[in-house]
């Protein structure tokens, strides 16, 4: 479970970075050169999703929980926004859902 969660975390960071860089270019007058690492990051994201030993729909569903939690940490660390108690509760629920899905594909239930 820990290995799967860590892999999802790296996957989420690759996706967020791959989307954040074009955002900087389009909305914050960033350099168009930001698109090159964005493409590389999104390519890494797609490749990382292929490393899981489950059907793609289960991977995407479980990954969603980690993505939600990672995006909220990004909101705090990169965007400097304070998280509310409801943000934390929502992240916990999303991670709990991810854990249930991963346990299901591992146990074959």
Lowest-confidence pick of 30-34, 66-70, 101-105: 101-105
pLDDT at residue number 28: 92
pLDDT at residue number 57: 87
- Residues 60-91: b if buried by 16+ CB within 10 A, e if exposed: ebbbbbbbbbbbbbbeeeeeeeeeeeebeeeb
Q: What ranges do the domains of the chain cover?
A: 2-107
Q: Could you tell me which residues come within 8 angstroms of residue 60 by beta carbon, excluding any fewer than 6 positions away?
A: 49
pLDDT at residue number 104: 86
Cα–Cα distance, 17 to 24 (Å, whole number): 10
Looking at every residue in the chain, the average pLDDT score rounds to 92
pLDDT at residue number 108: 66
């Amino acid at each position: 479970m820990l290995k799967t969660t860590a892999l999802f975390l790296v996957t989420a960071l690759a996706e967020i970075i791959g989307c954040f860089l074009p955002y900087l270019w389009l909305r914050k007058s960033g350099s168009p050169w930001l698109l090159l690492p964005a493409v590389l990051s999104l390519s890494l994201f797609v490749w990382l999703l292929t490393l899981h030993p489950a059907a793609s729909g289960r991977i995407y569903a479980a990954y969603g929980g980690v993505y939600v939690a990672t995006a909220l940490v990004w909101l705090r660390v990169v965007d400097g926004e304070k998280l509310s108690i409801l943000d934390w509760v929502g992240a916990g629920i999303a991670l709990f859902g991810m854990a249930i899905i991963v346990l299901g594909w591992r146990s074959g239930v």
